[in-house]
């Protein structure tokens, strides 16, 4: 998985936030190797996430990314912005479309097992302020997660994160 490097930001100040403010945007590249790594770390080894044959036999267009990988990748943007994942109070989302990940890995070379090719899929993620409650310091961040390789189809809807910042004194 490839993301753009991001510097560690300072803790956002509630009084400086307004609904509609874009707090961060990024595009994340996914490769089949990322899906295999995620399957290993998450324990979700469902073969639709790594086997073309199984995915197609299941009626899918091919191998698809794990929904939780898409969801986790999106909230990581907010976690970085608020400087501490412990500040995230709640995160909810609905999955609305699959993310097919094309096979782009060059022919296997056992001497270089982690060589990657071009991205097999991309996620475009935009995080913006949805609501601010200054007296409690709770900010709602709305996430827009789309698949630019599929006409910007929405991958997640109603993706909202509640973040606890320092309240206005």
Structure tokens at 118: 């071009």
Q: How many domains does the chain have?
A: 1
Residue 10 lies in a domain: no
Spell out the long-range contacts of 17-20 with Cβ–Cβ below 8 A and sequence spacing 24 or more: 17/129, 17/132, 17/139, 18/129, 18/132, 19/129, 19/130, 19/131, 19/132, 20/128, 20/129
> Whose structure tokens read 């991309």?
122
DSSP structural state of residue 137: T
Looking at the DSSP bridge assignments, the partners of residue 129 are 141
- pTM for the whole thing? 0.86
Residue 129 lies in a domain: yes
Q: Distance between CA 14 and CA 34 in Å, rounded?
A: 36
Residue 11 lies in a domain: no
Residue 24 lies in a domain: yes
Structure tokens at 53: 């044959």
CATH number of the CATH domain containing 39: 3.10.129.10
- What pLDDT is stored for residue 55 in this prediction? 95
Per-residue pLDDT of the chain (169 residues), as tens digits, is 655 555 667 899 999 999 999 999 999 999 998 999 999 999 999 999 999 999 999 999 999 999 999 999 999 999 999 999 999 999 999 999 999 999 877 665 666 655 567 889 999 999 999 999 999 999 999 999 999 999 999 999 999 999 999 998 7
Residue 8 lies in a domain: no
Residue 47 lies in a domain: yes
Residue 115 lies in a domain: no
* Structure-derived torsion over alpha carbons of residues 105, 111, 114, 120, reported in degrees to the nearest 10: 0
Q: Which domain holds residue 72?
A: 17-100+120-164
Closest-CA residue to 125 (of 166, 74, 69): 74
Residue 12 lies in a domain: no
Classify 99 as helix, strand or coil: coil
Q: In which element (H, E) is residue 162 found?
A: strand 153-164
């Amino acid at each position: 998985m490839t993301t753009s490097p991001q510097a560690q930001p300072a803790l956002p100040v509630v009084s400086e936030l307004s609904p509609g403010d874009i707090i961060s945007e990024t595009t994340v590249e996914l490769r089949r190797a990322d899906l295999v790594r995620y399957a290993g770390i998450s324990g979700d080894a469902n073969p639709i996430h790594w086997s073309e044959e199984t995915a197609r036999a299941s009626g899918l267009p091919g191998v698809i990314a794990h929904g939780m990988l898409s969801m986790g990748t999106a909230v990581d943007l907010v976690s970085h912005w608020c400087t501490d994942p412990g500040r995230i109070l709640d995160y909810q989302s609905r999955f609305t479309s699959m993310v097919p990940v094309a096979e782009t890995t060059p022919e296997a070379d056992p001497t270089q097992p982690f060589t990657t090719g071009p991205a097999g899929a991309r996620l475009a993620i935009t995080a913006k302020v949805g609501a601010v409650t200054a007296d409690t310091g709770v900010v709602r961040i709305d996430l827009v997660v789309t698949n630019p390789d599929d006409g910007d189809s929405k991958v997640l809807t109603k993706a909202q994160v509640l973040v606890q910042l320092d309240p206005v004194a």
